[in-house]
Amino acid sequence: MERSAASLLWFPVDRASSISLTIQVYEQVRRRILQNELNEGERLPSSRELASSVGVSRNIVLEVYDRLLAEGYLEVRPQSGTYVAAGSHILSEAAQDRLGEAVAAIGRPSPLVDTIDFRAAHPAADYFPRAVWGRLAREVCMDTPERAFGYAKPEGTAELRHVLARYLLQARGVRCHPDQIVVTSGATQALHLVTELLAKDKQARIAVEDPVTDEMRTIFSYAGADLLPVPVDDKGILPEKLPELDRPDFVFVIPSHQFPLGGTLPIQRRIQLIEYARRMDCCIVEDDYDSEFTYEGVPVHSLQGLDPERVIYVGTFSKILSPALRIGYAVLPVRYVEAYRRLKWFADRHTSTLEQLILARFMEEGYFDRHIRRMRKIYRKRRETLVSGLRKHLPEAHILGESAGMHLVVEFSDIRFTDKLMERIRVEGVQVYAVEHYVLVKGRHEHQIVMGYGGLPPEAILEGVARLAKAIRPDRPPSL
Ligand SMILES: Cc1ncc(COP(=O)(O)O)c(C=O)c1O
């Protein structure tokens, strides 16, 4: 048989990438075939030649050729070689290019690998109670009756809902029967389902604090709702600014520690909010995601406790324990319980039973309270480190919202955190977050940044503040 000349083939591979060499070689050859760079009927180099030109082992190339053969991109002609099969290219090259680039980018390391990231609401992963959790997981796995390994009810396990109802009453003044609780996959799902419950299939309106977290804003806007921004000050939402003409379907608030400004809503405003909801006949959705970490005074009880039939209370274990658990919950007025359970069933049937049972034991046996007390001390220390670092390097900074949570806001009256300045800060190896990023109405918070400290050890916090000072006050000599 006639043997045509084999194509010359070379491409780079990235040995530092997390993508295996086999996949990289496969993607490169496949992309060339799809894009007609290797034409129909063209002979490929032998496995030995390609392995040597690219610098990988011959076994890798053999594996790639086998896979491409099995998928129909190649054909073997006996005693001749391996050829590109007919009909194996497509015309839409642009899409393939983007795919190739995206695949290549997955394994690429970030250019600023040692960036100190003051991301808000990230808990201290290094303090997750691994040993206790591991032991309880084993116990649950061994002692739990078989029925727990089947499908369960959408509202979650009775064990977790009972212990949670008790905890919420004692710690947060939430008044509910365990049957009013639906365990969800994080507060994110809880809020998504609340939006479906109250704001679906109509031109819904949701009144939100402005600024508001981008995750929650995305959930609401994705559902097609119009967002009605309500300004906040250092204590939280300003109820007198709630819309009087456009009735919202619900008001979304974080009264115990407004995100990102950090205010704790005083009782007078809480009462005003409830009165507003009664007057407008709408619900209030209270997100209480990090209220366990209060450092000054006594934590203020939930809004839900003031009117359990008007307020949907949403909580999460992501900040107290870990976002990896994906366990949150909604506490619902009785009239919404059935419909909400149905929505949860449609979403994912139920949250992992085993994980719920471990958590229930963790709470029942007192580890949860102990963990909160321990984490409060750790976050207090991290907060003090951040505040003292700011006092040292940037004494003119005005600090807001430092009495709770895992982040605070820093304001500089003479600095506007423009995109250009944010980039300069990033290049200095530190990531902070402009409050303007979270706003709906632009221009009111240009002088403020959010700095989360929960996930950073004290040395990183101090180094991060020094880098921040260098970026925003380049002419100032560094403090020693
Ligand atoms: C305001 C707010 N609530 C709750 C959460 C927690 O979400 P989840 O419980 O899904 O992890 C977040 C996450 O960043 C948040 O920003």
Q: What is the mean pLDDT of residues 174-182?
A: 98
Dist. CA 219 → ligand 1 center (Å)? 11
Joined tokens for residue 344: 């949860």
What would the pLDDT profile of 198-212 be if each residue is shown by its tens digit?
987 678 999 999 999
Nearest to 117 by CA among 327, 430, 466, 448: 430
b/e string for 95-129 if b means 16 or more Cβ within 10 A? Answer: ebeeebeebbeeeeeeeeeebbbbbbbbbbeeeeb
Residues touching ligand 1 (Cβ under 6 Å) are 121, 186-188, 213, 215-216, 254, 259, 287, 289, 316, 318, 323, 328
What would the pLDDT profile of 324-358 be if each residue is shown by its tens digit?
999 999 999 999 999 999 999 999 999 999 999 99
Q: Average model confidence (pLDDT) for the chain?
A: 91
Closest ligand 1 atom to Cα of 120: 14
Dist. CA 213 → ligand 1 center (Å)? 9
Dist. CA 288 → ligand 1 center (Å)? 9
Joined tokens for residue 137: 């997981």
What is the rounded CA–CA span in Å between residue 384 and residue 381? 5
What would the pLDDT profile of 45-93 be if each residue is shown by its tens digit?
999 999 998 899 999 999 999 999 988 999 999 888 999 999 988 865 5
The CB-side HSE value for 330 (13 A sphere, CA atoms) comes to 31
- pLDDT band per the 50, 70, 90 thresholds, residue 6: confident
Residues 151/350, Cβ–Cβ less than 8 Å: yes
What would the pLDDT profile of 136-174 be if each residue is shown by its tens digit?
999 999 999 999 999 999 999 999 999 999 999 999 999
Count of CB atoms within 10 A of residue 85's CB? 18
Q: Hunting for tokens 């940044």 — which residue is that? A: 449
What would the pLDDT profile of 384-442 be if each residue is shown by its tens digit?
999 999 999 999 999 998 777 899 999 999 999 999 999 999 999 999 999 999 999 99
The reported pLDDT for the residue numbered 60 is 94
Residue to mutate (ligand 1; options 193, 213, 406; most atoms within 8 A of CB): 213
Residue to mutate (ligand 1; options 191, 214, 287; most atoms within 8 A of CB): 287
Q: Domains, the chain, ranges and CATH?
A: 21-106 (1.10.10.10), 116-125+370-472 (3.90.1150.10), 128-369 (3.40.640.10)
Dist. CA 2 → ligand 1 center (Å)? 66
- pLDDT band per the 50, 70, 90 thresholds, residue 108: very low
Dist. CA 314 → ligand 1 center (Å)? 10
Q: Which amino acid is at 329?
A: Y
